[in-house]
Amino acid sequence: MGFDQRPNQPRQAARGHQHDDQARLDAHAGLMGRLGLLIRSGAIVPCLDRRAVWAANDDKTAQDAARACLGCPALGTCRAYITAHPEPAGTWAGLTEKQRTTNRRGEPTMATTTEQTARLEAIAVIRLITHNRQDEAHVM
């Protein structure tokens, strides 16, 4: 990420694109709202725990962050955000900066479709429910 860029802040669109700025800000607010709901429900959102890992420039750390994203209950929402509003740096929705750059050039990488996004989010929700049930069983 750039020096003035934090992982939880959207990149501003190019000057003169006020509509793009507002759409990005609205989409980012939606993503942050979803993350807030998940946290309040007891879900673990990996990128909010150690933010610097998701902003790392080295490939190994970025790959580790991308793998951690795959179990996140917000993966589908995050993937939809980053697909519609590409960020210039960092790991987002299980994709490193390098993978997203490859996507923009049109080369094969992790494809995103509405069906795939829904499937990923459903898997993450099932994992969350299973985790919560296991926690309840340990308490009893």
Please give the pLDDT value at position 86.
87
Task: Tokens for 88, please give them.
Answer: 């210039």
CA 2, 91, 41, 139 torsion-angle sign: negative
Q: Is 106 left (phi over 0), alpha (psi -120 to 50) or beta?
A: left
Query: Of all residues in the chain, what percent carry a pLDDT higher than 70?
Result: 61
Contacting residues for 74 by C-beta, under 8 A, at least 6 apart? 31, 34, 35, 38, 45, 121, 124
Nearest C-alpha neighbor of 91 from the set 51, 49, 126, 122: 51
User: What is the distance between the alpha carbons of residues 84 and 101, in angstroms, rounded to a whole number?
Assistant: 14
77 pLDDT above the threshold of 80: yes
Query: What SS3 state is found at 130?
Result: helix
The model carries a pTM of 0.62
The residue with greater pLDDT, 65 or 49, is 65
- Quick count: other Cβ atoms within 10 Å of Cβ 127? 16
74-89 average pLDDT score: 89
Return the axis-axis angle of helices 18-40 and 75-84, rounded to nearest 10°: 170
Distance of CA 114 to the CA centre of its chain: 15
